[in-house]
A and B are shown apart, each in its own frame.
Chain A
Amino acid sequence: MTKFLAIVKREYIQRVRSKLFVVMTILGPILLMVFTVVPGLLMSIKTEDTRLGIVDQTSGTKVFDAVRDSLVKPDRRDSNPKAEMVESLNANSKERVERANQAFTGRILVSKLESSAGSEDEIKRELNNKIVKDEIDGYLIIPPDILENSGASPSFYSKNLSDLPTQAQIERAINDAVRKLRLTAAGVSEEALDRLSKPVNLEVYPVNEKGEQGGRASGIAGFAIPFIVAFLIYITVLLYGQVILGAVVEEKETRIAEILFSSVKSGTLMLGKLIGVSLVAVTQLGIWAAAFGLVVTYGLAAMSSRGLDQIPLHLPAVFFIYLFVFFALGYFIYATLYVLVGSMVTTTQEGGQVAMPIIFLLMAGLYLAFPVMRSPNSSFATWLSLVPFFSPIVMVVRVVTQTPPFWQIALSLLIGLVTVIGLLWVAARVYRVGMLMYGKKATIPEMLRWVRQS
């Protein structure tokens, strides 16, 4: 036990004291921000206004006025009929993305273009010239029969066809304007139009296994929490998997292993390394969580002082225990996979390549969570939540959506635990035998023989 603690202590202190750890602890959250938020911002920021010319071939200025209003005051979405948007989930999410982007697009400056030329070809030639001379960025031709003929479609001409958010905005503006005018033309009054276009909201209520109905709720927690847990496992494994791998290979690279093995068993060494690095992870994540917690607390305080409601989380405390337990299990299952890889290879670089499939396994678990979310008590979901490499994510999904019987949760935990111990056992054996043959990576059949041998 003293030897085990000595290994844990060395592993922990050496790593926590290193400059890399200090720098990463400080830079980590900043880098995370930079890599997640900034590309999104860059994508959505449009620096210039778009100068749009509109050629309205209908009689009167009704259509032009409506399109212009819609473009200049684009955010009257709430009053727009939603019914058509709910065709499919995809359309809906597309819609959401566009709305988010809209906030960052530049203004659209609209001008009505009167054309002296007669034929459409001549008009286009003239306007194309304007684009070349950089007087406008693009122009829109609204055909004369747009209100009467539902097959008629406006056309947009521009040098830059890659500015999809702006195009989407234009398309939506015309759509809104034309739809409204067509309805009015069909005899629907303005007031009736607004009233009839009100969207319908689905109210959702949970029913538990005793048949009781709960208060009005939102499914978002069931959707988001498993993903938060999965994401945490993913990030933790990504951050510390390589560290664990490096820690296991360290004694081989520095050729200290032989001295160590004249003092400790390889299993003690493996476990000591795993626990040592895990404590480093706990320390680092703890610091980040504390910083995050401070920001959130401050933010919530600021929100409530402005009279904004805090969002209450309607989840029983036992859920959070499950979440933590399965997070820990998931972490250890994947961490021991890295230990195993470390025991097989002779250098860290080599280990990085061999470890690639671990990430695929982790991502597979994430994707498999989708079907489980839709039918959490199917036999597919039940079996999947017992498979050790997927259970941490899948079981969390099931616990949050429709809590399965306790024995299933316990069995899933047990299988996971046995997997961790089994992997460590194999790793210790592979390490011990492999250590005696420097400079050679173990093949799978060799490993199997070593495991049987020792």
Chain B
Amino acid sequence: MSHPNGYHETTVQVDQVTKSFGEFTAVNQLSLSVRPGRIYGLLGPNGAGKTTTIRMIVNITAPDSGNIKIFGKQITPELQDRIGYLPEERGLYKKMKVGEQLKFFAELKNINGKEADQRIDKWLARLKLSEWKLKKSMELSKGMQQKIQFITAVLHEPDLIILDEPFSGLDPVNVELLKDVVLELKAAGKTIIFSTHQMEVAEEICDDICLINRSRKVLEGSIRQVRQSFGRNTVALRFEGDESVLSDPAMVTKVERHADEMEVLLAEGADAQILLKRLVAAGAVVGKFEMMEPSLNDIFIAKVTEAA
């Protein structure tokens, strides 16, 4: 196990935390727990309070009330060294060479000398940036700079890695590259908090998610739990014949037509089996009838618009 301090049930425990800036409440009575060795998705629209929550976890701001524990303890400067953080506000020293810059950030995490040099070379190679080591960072493309910033978050081999929108602005090749790296880190036992508003990415790599909207938590749990709790009320359907059954408002609330099939949203309380029976009874030839799981995107939109 990669936790030298022994086992904690949670790597990050946020308890009833509130943070306001003047009149504006950025985070309201938020509780969440991140289990070790998992990828935790912090999801929500822009301005929901994700970044403020993260800043409190990494001890940049203090909560007005509530309590945060990292690795089972109150945060201290020593614990900060076990956290790697890639903020959404990104920057590098423009005129500093990439290698020197990484060395500086390593030193800020108490990694010095040869050890730091070796890790820098290893990571530059892994992210295909080795030939840029002696270039000034202003000569790098935005995507390359972003990968350098990613390295600063993982160089000191932290147990907890917090990535705020790590993939935004990257080309698909680099998104895949970073995704692989994130999954490798997970396989190595690291805990990863991953903040984004891109649901497809979250769906792909997160184990657990927490959805925040307007400074409050909307839902939390493993991806499977969340989907199940949202129920199965959409049917992917392909058939030939009478469509009149679909216009019964007691059965169907919405029909979305695609190229050769349709997505049917069942009315509340309606049973998919009865819909199938009635279709068959009406003489339709059913080519496809499949219960669909709601996508994270659907859940996200449903939850956010519901609150509005």
Contacts and interface: CB of A to CB of B under 8 A. Distances in A.
Contacts of A10: 96, 104
Nearest to A265: B77
Residues of B in contact with A, size category: 20 to 34
Interface string B88-115: 0111111110000000110111101000
A351 B65 CA distance: 34
A436 B24 CA distance: 14
B87 interface: yes
Interface stretch (B27-35, B53-61, B224-232): B53-61
A2 B61 CA distance: 23
A304 interface: no
Contacts of A251: 91
B88 to A, nearest CB: 8
B80 A263 contact: yes
B195 interface: no
B85 A259 contact: yes
A436 B61 contact: yes
A258 B95 contact: no
A17 to B, nearest CB: 10
Chain B interface mostly helix, strand, loop or mixed? loop
Contacts of B104: 6, 10
B62 A436 contact: no
A239 B116 CA distance: 36
Which of B58, B81, B89 counts the most A-chain CB atoms under 10 A from its CB? B89
A14 interface: yes
A259 B105 CA distance: 9
Interface of B: 21, 55, 58-62, 77, 80-81, 83, 85, 87, 89-96, 104-105, 107-110, 112, 149, 152
A262 B58 contact: yes
Interface residues of A, number: 26
Interface of A: 2-3, 6-7, 10, 14, 18, 250-251, 254-265, 432, 436-438, 454
Contacts, number: 65
B95 A14 contact: yes
Nearest to A269: B108
Contacts of B107: 2-3, 6
Nearest to A436: B61
A14 to B, nearest CB: 6
Given A10-B104, A265-B77, A436-B55, A258 B112 contact: no
A4 to B, nearest CB: 10
Contact of B91 (A7, A254, A432): A254
Given A2-B107, A436-B61, A454-B62, A256 B93 contact: yes
A260 B93 CA distance: 12
Contacts of B95: 14, 18
Contact of B92 (A3, A256, A437): A256
B93 A262 contact: no
A269 to B, nearest CB: 10
Contact of B96 (A3, A14, A454): A14
A432 to B, nearest CB: 8
A260 B96 contact: no
A3 B106 CA distance: 10
